[in-house]
Amino acid sequence: VFDGIDGAGKSTQISLAGDWLSEQGQQVVCLTDPGSTELGQRLRRLLLERSDVPISMQAEMLMFMAARAQLVDELILPAIENNQIVLCDRFTISTAVYQGHAGGLSVDDIWAANQIATQGLLPHLTLLFDLPADVAFERLKSRHGIQLDKLESRGPAYFAKVREGFLFESKRWPTGVEVLDATRPVDEIQAKVQDFIGMMLKRNLQVRI
């Protein structure tokens, strides 16, 4: 799982890691949570674009979970069954942070809902791309202009809570979380990503690359 505050470089890094794994002869599938399924895409639009539909924090959390449930069932479990390596842009830790730490819901309740959504599936490795909230906000503003999406428009204070939440959860998350300094140049970060993935494959799947 590639996760972290908005604009931290997850998409950039997942794409490079996917290319690298393919070059190493690995079967790899890159997914986005929410988004890689039809249901995920529709829920994503509703969650991020439609500001005319009132959505409570509880409903928001359950919509992310519904998208994840579909993603796990439709794409992740079949990929694992086919011995493919799954790289996922965001997963459970995002919900714990955005709807839990920043959104005010109980992280324990989020875990309970997540058990249903993921059928108990846990990632082997979570890479957390850490970036100060103000740097993340500036990157997003320069990319989107003033057109920030609905969640991103919650502003810098919300982003600061998000960053703190990620760092807090990284220390107690039940599966391995590696924190990477996302202010560093893209290539330097990717070299670390490849080291962590290489070690994880060797450790968990006895695959040496």
Q: What residues make contact with ligand Z5A under the rule CB under 6 A?
A: 6-12, 33-34, 48, 64, 89-90, 94-95, 98-99, 139, 143, 151-152, 182, 185-186, 189
Using the minimum distance from each CB to ligand Z5A, give the nearer residue, 53 or 209: 53
CB closer to ligand Z5A out of 125 and 137: 137
Least distance (Å) between residue 33 CB and ligand Z5A: 5
Q: For the CB of residue 35, give the shortest distance to ligand Z5A in the complex, in Å.
A: 7
Residue closer to ligand Z5A, measured from CB, 90 or 163: 90
Under 8 Å between Cβ of 73 and 119: yes
Least distance from ligand Z5A to the Cβ atom of residue 1, Å: 10
Is residue 189 within 8 A of residue 180, CB to CB? The reply is: yes
Pairing of β 85-89 and β 28-32: parallel
Residue closer to ligand Z5A (CB basis): 11 or 194:
11
Q: What is d(CA 163, CA 143) in angstroms, rounded to the nearest whole number?
A: 20
Shortest spacing between CB 179 and ligand Z5A, in angstroms: 14
Q: Which of 168, 157, 131, 113 is nearest to 9 (CA)?
A: 131
Sequence-distant (6+) residues with CB within 8 A of 127 are 1, 2, 3, 13, 177, 178, 180, 193, 196
Q: Which is nearer to ligand Z5A, 21 or 32 (CB)?
A: 32
Residue closer to ligand Z5A (CB basis): 58 or 83: 58
Cα–Cα distance measured from residue 29 to residue 157, given in angstroms and rounded to the nearest whole number:
35
Name the one residue in this structure whose structure tokens are 């502003």. 155
23: three-class secondary structure by DSSP: helix
What would you report as the CA-atom Rg of the chain, rounded to the nearest whole angstrom? Answer: 16
Query: Residue 138 CB: number of other CB atoms within 10 A?
Result: 13
